[in-house]
Amino acid sequence: MALAKWWDLFHDPALSGRIDKAMANAPDLRQAVARVNESRALAQAAGATLWPSLDARTSYSFSESYSYPHTKLSPSPKGTLRAGLDASWELDIWGVNRRGIEAATADAVSAEFQAQAVRLSLVAEVARQEFLARGLAARMRVLKQNIENQNETLEMAVQRRKSGFSNEAAVAQARAQLAGLQARVPPLREALAAAENRLAVLMGESPGAVRVAKWEARHDAPAIPAMPSPPSAIPSEALRRRPDVASAAQALHAATARIGVAEGDLYPRLTLSGLVGVTGTGVDDLFHGGTPYYSIAPSVQWRVFDRRQIKARVAAAGARAERALAEHDKAVLAALEEVENAFVSMETAGARIDALEKAVLAAEYSTAISTRQYGEGLGNFVSVLLEQQRLFESREQLEEAKLRQGLAFVSLCKALGGGWEPPPKQP
């Protein structure tokens, strides 16, 4: 089963179009991409710590000398202009900066996997809401068909009462059952509108912009497509496909690297600083006749008296790494649980559909017999109402089972990491 674009297995242009639109416009995905760009920029900034820093400096000072009461001592004002370059380079003897770069890079990769996890969840949620809307539309079609049948039954009861073959109780029972069916319409319409509005928001549109079905048109909504066959076993690469598991692994990598960053404060740091420039009384002196100057100043910084505080920070970094390890293990177990639950849901939904299809056929046959016998005066009206109710419930349960099977397939594809293309495995 092709997991990267599993929705193409349905050959459903409407579903594929909505998923493509959601991936192009969804606010959640745009936020995830922005976080990726932020993490990449921070990783690039961390990489700059391995190289010397260079600053350009320019200053101008002006001075005059006075004595009380404001008697000028110097014959003229004195101005000094300086221009030069400052350089500083911390030698990464203990690998502190390299470990910082390693942590920042792992954070960036983790953010990329998190973005893919958002993409995976977005695709699954769009498919889920699409199937939910179609399932509700199918239940509405079943309900409307049953209302029409109940209207015919009510008319038949009224005619038989007029002919003297029935009584007012049968008519009242038919009207009560019809009213009960009509009362089911508003909740279904409300649920369908909620699913359609959710679809619109997922696609980056205003609520109300998407319509999967209309109550006035019985057959305008596409049905839930037939489910492809799921894989017979969990693929060996299933966990590698899960972006949330990969993101947790990168977060663990970053946390362990930051232990090395914290330990770096236990050792002395060597920095080389340099300064070169020209000084003079004006701008022309910077190019002709100015006085050049330079300096080189190595320095060592060693936080000898802060070792207790540093060791506490090292211990805190170790604790964060332990927490990241626990979160990674939790992600792995959650992934295995989701896969197993999805497989079970697919299996049970298929078995339920098979049983309900037989139940619908039996109920249709029983309802036809009861209705014919009542029309011929050989049966009672209560039996007709009971058989019609049983038929309606069987049809409604069948549509609900088909919806559950579709949702289970979506959950299975999501659990297996479907919806994105993982990077190639490193040799």
* pLDDT tens digits, one per residue of 209-222: 787 765 444 455 67
Q: What is the pLDDT of residues 326-369, one digit of tens each?
A: 999 999 888 888 888 888 888 898 899 999 999 999 988 988 88
Tokens 């014919």 identify what position? Answer: 372
What confidence score (pLDDT) does residue 420 get?
Answer: 61
The number of CA neighbours under 13 Å toward the Cβ of 373 is 15
Contact (CB, 8 A) for 58 and 85 = no
pLDDT at residue 416 tops 80: yes
Helix count (H) and strand count (E) of the chain? 9, 6
Q: Which two tokens stand for residue 125?
A: 């949620």
Measured distance CA(183)–CA(178) in Å, rounded:
9
Superfamily holding 6-51+98-265+327-415: Outer membrane efflux proteins (OEP) (1.20.1600.10)
What confidence score (pLDDT) does residue 421 get?
Answer: 64
Kindly list the domain boundaries of the chain, sorted by start residue: 6-51+98-265+327-415
pLDDT at residue 257 tops 50: yes
Contact partners, residue 381, CB within 8 Å, separation at least 6:
157, 166, 170, 173, 174, 374
Q: Which two tokens stand for residue 247?
A: 């993101």
Q: Residue 375's pLDDT band (boundaries 50, 70, 90)?
A: confident
To the nearest whole number, what is the mean pLDDT of the chain? 82
Higher model confidence: residue 196 or residue 285? Answer: 196
Higher model confidence: residue 422 or residue 50? Answer: 50
CB burial of residue 258 (10 Å; 0-12, 13-18, 19+): buried
b/e per residue, 227-254, with b = 16+ CB within 10 A?
Answer: beebeeeeeeebbebbbbbbbbbbbbbb
What confidence score (pLDDT) does residue 217 get?
Answer: 47
The mean per-residue pLDDT over the stretch 269-276 comes to 84
pLDDT at residue 256 tops 90: yes
pLDDT at residue 301 tops 80: yes
Contact partners, residue 356, CB within 8 Å, separation at least 6:
394, 397, 398, 401
What confidence score (pLDDT) does residue 281 get?
Answer: 72
pLDDT at residue 74 tops 60: no
The beta strands (E) that lie in 24-103 are given as 53-63, 66-67, 71-72, 78-91
Contact partners, residue 211, CB within 8 Å, separation at least 6:
196
Contact partners, residue 222, CB within 8 Å, separation at least 6:
12, 14, 134, 212
pLDDT at residue 235 tops 60: no
What confidence score (pLDDT) does residue 233 get?
Answer: 53
Contact (CB, 8 A) for 116 and 29 = no
What confidence score (pLDDT) does residue 236 get?
Answer: 54
Higher model confidence: residue 378 or residue 22? Answer: 22
pLDDT at residue 425 tops 90: no
Higher model confidence: residue 266 or residue 164? Answer: 266
What confidence score (pLDDT) does residue 1 get?
Answer: 53
The mean per-residue pLDDT over the stretch 389-418 comes to 88
